[in-house]
Amino acid sequence: GQNIDQPTEMTATEGAIVQINCTYQTSGFNGLFWYQQHAGEAPTFLSYNVLDGLEEKGRFSSFLSRSKGYSYLLLKELQMKDSASYLCAVGMDSNYQLIWGAGTKLIIKP
Amino acid sequence: DTEVTQTPKHLVMGMTNKKSLKCEQHMGHRAMYWYKQKAKKPPELMFVYSYEKLSINESVPSRFSPECPNSSLLNLHLHALQPEDSALYLCASSQDRSSGANVLTFGAGSRLTVL
C-alpha cells in the first residue's frame, strides 16, 4: 500500500524556526513535493526534491533522504502569513499521480 | 499569464440539476487535472488529460463527466449529484514532462454544495 505520514498540527512562534517532517512508504518514487495551502484556498508549490540532500529557497528549505523514506520542510524567520497547511506529496512513476499526505496545519503565534 | 482560472467560485445545486465547472489556463501546459478536496483532507485525483486526451480516470462515478475542448480549457459536467459530492473542486495544470518535476499549478477552486 501507499502511506505518507506527517504530523496533524504544529504550533510555532513568529520569528522562530519550524521543521515539518514527512515519512513515506510508496511503491514508486518520482520525487517529493511540498505544497502550501491556506484555508479555503488552492495549494501552491513550494519545493521539489528528487535527489538526497537539502534544497534551499529563501526562508524555506526542503530535505530528502530516499534510503530512509524521509523528508522535511524547514521554515525560518516565521511570519504570521506562514499559518497554513503544508502538504507532502510523492510523485509516482506514472508522472501524473501524486500520493498526498494528510497535511500539517501550522499555527503561528505572535 | 501564470494562472489557472476556475468558474464559478461557488455553486449550489440540487440533486436533479445539471451544471458545469470550467477551468482555463494559458501557460502552454499540456496536462490538466481535476481534483476533489474535502475539508481537512488532501486533494483526491479524479481525472487527468494529457494533450487533450483522457489519460487517467480514477474510478470516478459517471455523474461526473470531464471534457477537454482544447489545450487551454477543461470542463467538469455534473449531473444527478449526491450531497456527499459537496466539496472543493480544484483544477490544475502542468507541463507534461516525461522526466523531472511535474509541478502542479492549481486554480482557486469551485466550492460545490449539493442539496
Question: pLDDT tens for residues A46-100?
Answer: 999 999 999 999 999 999 999 999 999 999 999 999 999 999 999 987 768 899 9
Distance from CA of A84 to the nearest CA of B (A): 11
- Which residues from B are below 8 Å from A43, CB to CB? 43, 90, 104, 106
Residue B89's pLDDT is 97
Nearest to A10 by CA among A59, A66, A98, A73: A73
Contact between residue B26 and residue B80 where contact means Cβ atoms under 8 Å apart: no
Q: For A45, what's the count of Cα atoms within 13 Å in the CB-facing half-sphere?
A: 17
Given CB atoms, is A96 within the 8 Å cutoff of chain B?
A: yes
Provide mean pLDDT across the span B13-19: 91
Q: What's the mean pLDDT when you consider all of chain B?
A: 92
Name the grid cell of A83: 499559518
Inter-chain touch A41–B31, beta carbons under 8 Å: no
For residues A96 and A107, what is the distance between their CA atoms, to the nearest angstrom? Answer: 31
Helix (H) or strand (E) holding A109: strand A104-109
Contact between residue A15 and residue A29 where contact means Cβ atoms under 8 Å apart: no
Mutate to test the interface with A, among B25, B104, B110, B111 (most CBs of A within 10 A): B104
Phi, psi (rounded to 5 degrees) for A80: -55, -35
Higher pLDDT residue, B59 or A35?
Answer: A35
For residues B101 and B53, what is the distance between their CA atoms, to the nearest angstrom? Answer: 21
Provide mean pLDDT across the span B84-98: 90
Residue with cell 477552486: B109
Model confidence at B40, pLDDT cuts 50, 70, 90, reads confident
Name the grid cell of B75: 470542463
The residues of B whose Cβ lies within 8 A of any Cβ of A are 31, 33, 40-43, 45, 48, 50, 55-56, 90, 97-98, 100-109
